Amino acid sequence: MYSSREILQDSSDVTKKICKIMMSCPKLGLDTMLDQSGIRVSTDVVEKVLEKFENAGMLAHRFFEWSGKQRNYEHSVRAYHIMIESLAKIRQYQIMWDLVNSMKSNQMLNIETFCIIMRKYSRAKKVDEAVYTFNVMNKYDVTPNLGAFNGLLSALCKSKNIRKAQEIFDSMKDQFVPDLKTYSILIEGWGKAPNLPKAREIFREMVCAGCNPDIVTYGIMVDILCKAGRTDEAVQIIKEMELSVCKPTCFIYSVLVHTYGIENRIEDAVDTFLEMERNGIKADVSVYNALISAFCKVNKFQNAYRVLNEMDNKGVRPNSRTCNILLNALIGREETDEAFKVFRRMIKFCEPDADTYTMMIKMFCQRDELEMAFKVWKYMKKKQFVPGMHTFSALIIGLCNKGDVSRACVLMEEMIERGIHPGRHTCGKLRQLLLKEGREDVLGFLQEKMNLLVKEPLWDTEI
């Protein structure tokens, strides 16, 4: 029986309470504050909180450890996976592998665990470590299968290591019989290289192996051809698809609309959109975003706003990407007042993402309106959005340019406390300002803080 204090509360309310505590409480006092709150956690709550704080790895880990000790609660596989991704993002690989060992002890490891780690290593340009992760799976009692093989190839291709991926594919394709997904991964990788002849070669090899292309493969080929400037070929593929069983999807049309936008072929972009609708395909947010982007490219903002209104009429909800396309175009034309109007309008319909907040903060800093930048920062905190490295950096650099060393240091300390490693440019800016003011003591203090997190220098001595 639960006492009245232990009655299960609505998970969204509990999540909000925990996030509020974590946003306001110093990391070292977090356990005490959470203990005193009397909050009971559930699997759903822990996963949601970890997702909220994915950009603050060490703070998220503190909560992860605290929640793991709570009565009648055990971490889910998903909670472990979110935490592993968060730690890998800030290169806390030792703690990450500690979690893997913990999952092994609890017999919770699966293929996806290792795919996540391979992706993160690849993104950090640690190719050898990604391959090692694949090779070490057997030692963790997880047998690598075709899914894991595809996971490794995908991780390498997405981090622009297609040659390594091809080498591994050639050496292991007898061990893991490739499927359609395997070939699609390689085709996309060579397309991004870019190496269209090699992409075509793999496509032919796929067909010869008895793997007929599906909608995903066709989408990849259309994307590759468009980016290679072979738009007419891409259009031909789409026309062939329209006459076949494998009909083109919204994604394929959005690629073509986006390409026409880049090429300033606005009439073709609109015609493609209308043709899609004539073919009975209902537009989703990705196609609308491509059309808005095309109008922005040729500075036809009124048309872009009309598309927004059509989205509203058709019941298609804009997303953060919609907002960012408009903001980026307006700020690029130095129409900053209009950009702020769009921001205020859009946040009523969609949740801003890290790029949205970073763009707005950077914009106000460049306009020498730091207080407005802080208003956006406070709004972000109010929405319990945890800033990442780029958002912190935008405001810190703005403060440095204004000579406000005190507030810049406070933000830098908060950034480090959250387990976020500052970029070199940000470090260099603040370091120069502190040295200019003779504040070597503050430099030392921040370096000590950083040393508690990672064994990497905070300051680039060459700057």
Q: Note whether residue 41 is domain-resident.
A: yes
Q: How far apart are CA 437 and CA 451, in angstroms?
A: 23
* Cα distances (Å, whole numbers) of residue 284 to 20, 160, 252, 326: 34, 29, 12, 18
Per the structure, the complete domain to which residue 38 belongs is given by 1-108
Burial label for 402, CB within 10 Å (0-12, 13-18, 19+), is middle
Q: Are 325 and 293 in contact (CB under 8 A)?
A: yes
Q: What local confidence, expressed as pLDDT, does residue 245 receive? A: 83
Q: Is residue 156 in some structural domain?
A: no
Is the residue at 391 inside a domain?
yes
Neighbours of 351 (CB within 10 A): 12
User: What pLDDT does 437 receive?
Assistant: 81
Confirm whether 39 is domain-assigned: yes
The pLDDT profile of the chain, 463 residues, written as one tens digit per residue, is 333 344 345 788 899 999 889 888 766 688 899 999 888 999 999 999 999 998 888 889 999 999 999 999 999 999 999 999 999 988 899 999 999 999 999 999 999 999 999 999 999 999 999 999 999 999 999 999 999 999 999 999 999 999 999 999 999 999 999 999 999 999 999 999 999 999 999 999 999 999 989 999 999 999 999 999 999 999 999 988 888 888 899 999 999 999 999 999 999 999 999 999 999 999 999 999 999 999 999 999 999 999 999 999 999 999 999 999 999 999 999 999 999 999 999 999 899 999 999 999 999 999 999 999 999 999 998 998 989 899 999 999 999 999 999 999 999 988 887 778 888 888 888 888 888 888 888 878 887 777 766 543 333 333 2
Residue 432 included in any domain: yes
Q: Which pairs count as long-range contacts for 205-211, CB under 8 Å and 24+ apart, including other chains?
A: 206/180, 209/178, 209/183, 211/178, 211/179, 211/180, 211/183
The Cβ of residue 196 has, within 10 Å, a number of other Cβ atoms equal to: 18
Residues in the chain: 463
- Whether 174 is covered by a domain: the verdict is no
DSSP code string of 258-278:
HHHHHTT-HHHHHHHHHHHHH
The answer to whether 308 and 349 are in contact (CB under 8 A) is no
Long-range pairs of 16-20 with CB within 8 A, sequence gap ≥ 24: 16/384, 18/45, 18/49, 18/63, 19/49, 19/52, 19/53, 19/384, 20/384
Q: Among 14, 2, 85, which Cα is nearest to 46's?
A: 14
End position of a domain, from candidates 74, 108, 142:
108
First to last CA, the chain: 62
Question: What is d(CA 7, CA 34) in angstroms, rounded to the nearest whole number?
Answer: 17
Phi and psi torsions of 102, nearest 5°: -65, -40
Return the pLDDT at 458. 33
Distance (Å, whole) CA 430 – CA 152: 39
Please indicate, yes or no, if residue 289 is contained in any of the structural domains.
no
H helix intervals, 315-335: 320-332
- CB neighbours of residue 19 within 10 Å: 18
Q: Quote the number of domains for the chain.
A: 2
DSSP secondary structure string for all residues of 94-121: HHHHHHHHHHHHTT---HHHHHHHHHHH
Neighbour tally for 392: CB within 10 Å: 24
Residue 16 domain-assigned (yes or no): yes
Q: In the listed set 44, 75, 108, which residue is the last one of a domain according to the structure?
A: 108
Last residue of a domain, one of 108, 136, 163: 108
Quote the CA–CA distance of 326 and 342 in Å, as a whole number: 8
